[in-house]
Amino acid sequence: MFALVLENVHDIYIDEHPIDDLAIAGLRGLQKVEPSASIERAEGQIRLLINGTVVSAIPAPERNDGEAWAAVIEKMIADGRRASTKLNAADNEKIYKTMIDGLLAGLDRYSRYSGMVAARRQRQNRDGFGGIGVSIKIHDDGVRVDRVTPERPASRGGVKIGDIIVAVGGAPLKGLKLRKTVALLRGPIGKQVTVTLRREGRPEPFELSLLRVKIVPVTVYYQRRDRIAYLRVTGFNQGTALELRKSVDRARREIGAGLKGLVIDLRGNPGGLLDQAVDTADLFIVKGRISTTRGRHPDSFQLFDATKGDIGAGVPIAVLVNGASASASEVLAAALQDRGRAVLVGSGSFGKGTVQTVLRMPNDGELILTWARLLAPSGYILNKLGVLPTLCTSNADDAEHVLADSLKDGVADRQIAMRRAADNGDEEFRETVRTFCPWRPRDGRDVDIEVAKRLLETPKLYQRALQLSALSAGS
């Protein structure tokens, strides 16, 4: 376990870190379990002290010998358990978490370790899980059905919004925490689960036997607003690109030739799977670069180019972003902006422009390591500065002022050109760029939506805004 962690961080992480430094940082993490523990490195030895007494002393291996340093860690943990009741009482999962958190503490904030329970939840959110297709909320007698997903077992079995699930598999739910109830409803795909329901208008509870199927959490929500299709994208998992395709197809069927445009709302979207962001951009971009990743490991160099047609058939697109739009959502926004396929509205995005690779550990936990930086089609690095919208709503109270201020005198195109030219290592320049369109969360009036609506309903305005930020032909 420790050898895998040490060698993967050394080989894959975006910046090189010697294995000995990583191992010692991990050992120092033991202080979270045993506050009196300390690590010393002197005279060619690594020493573990408990309450100032040396309880383990081992010759230091070669600097980047992962197997040897893993053996040092294992031996010191064993020696420490014999000398400390607190270390001895800690199970393996707690020791893994403590040690690996310490080992990763000197890296970036996106590299982390998830134990087996947390990792299982993360895999379910990314890849799906066996379930029946309901959203639930805690109720005094169990849980209340808050949403029923169409064409899923609960829907086909007749479960309705407002039903109270009082038992699962015969086990009463009253008093259980929501997470435990969710765990009972979920399970192996293709296996039956029996739910006991109470429904208003029926005197007695009744049972339904439902066959679990693969459920991928919904990330795309469609709403028709007059002749505009509003598409809220909350994250990027394995189903996002397909969901968005279906939503656009539905909008085109419902609204028909009168469809004036699409609003893709990425505000508050923290990201997710890179390949889904690329596939989503590819739905609308006919040709050209979508994104590039670049890191230290040879496999981290990847080029993503458009391969498909435009499912929107050229219909205007406005993308909404804010300071909480991050990672994969920034990849999509930058691609649509640079390729001249959409106008970005809102405020500067978060600037989480790195890619993490997920490594499954022997204990079923996950090691998540940053291994590449993300580049927009025009070549700028997304990290730290994010994407700059064409139409900035930071200081605006109404759509008219946004359109007037952004479209006059080349303000927007000059700022976007500076953003693309920004050197991420130049802190002074970064600070200047950050002042262009800072995120200011506000309650009440949604100016972003107003601007997007006005833009999509006025073709001349849309084309003018598009020309301010799109790359020149052939780029």
Measured CA to CA, the distance from residue 350 to residue 334 in angstroms comes to 12
Pairing of strands 129-131, 171-172: unpaired
Measured CA to CA, the distance from residue 334 to residue 329 in angstroms comes to 9
The pair of three-digit structure tokens given for residue 414, joined into one six-digit string: 């000059």
| From 111, 247, 347, 352, active-site residue | 352
Q: In sequence order, which residues have a C-beta less than 8 Å from that of residue 92 and are 6 or more positions away?
A: 363
CA angle, corner 459, sides to 457 and 460, nearest 5?
130
209 phi, psi to nearest 5 deg: -105, 120
Measured CA to CA, the distance from residue 295 to residue 301 in angstroms comes to 6
423 phi, psi to nearest 5 deg: -90, 115
Order of all β-strands in the sheet with 343-346:
220-225, 228-233, 261-265, 317-321, 343-346, 391-392
Looking from the CA of 118 toward its CB, the CA atoms found within 13 Å total 12
Of the candidates 241, 239, 158, which has an alpha carbon nearest to the alpha carbon of residue 206? 158
Alpha helix ranges (H) inside 128-210? 153-157, 178-185
* 282 annotated active-site: no
What number of other Cβ atoms are within 10 A of residue 39's Cβ? 19
Looking from the CA of 79 toward its CB, the CA atoms found within 13 Å total 20
* 38 annotated active-site: no
* 155 annotated active-site: no
| From 79, 279, 338, 448, active-site residue | 338
| From 111, 114, 327, 394, active-site residue | 327
| Helix, strand, coil share of the chain (percent; to 5) | 35, 25, 35
The pair of three-digit structure tokens given for residue 357, joined into one six-digit string: 């690779």
Measured CA to CA, the distance from residue 276 to residue 303 in angstroms comes to 15
Measured CA to CA, the distance from residue 323 to residue 381 in angstroms comes to 17
- Whole-number Cα distances in Å, 6 to 17, 68, 270: 10, 10, 28
> What SS3 class is residue 286?
coil
Is 58 in contact with 45 (CB distance < 8 Å)?
Answer: yes
Residues identified as active-site = 327, 338, 352
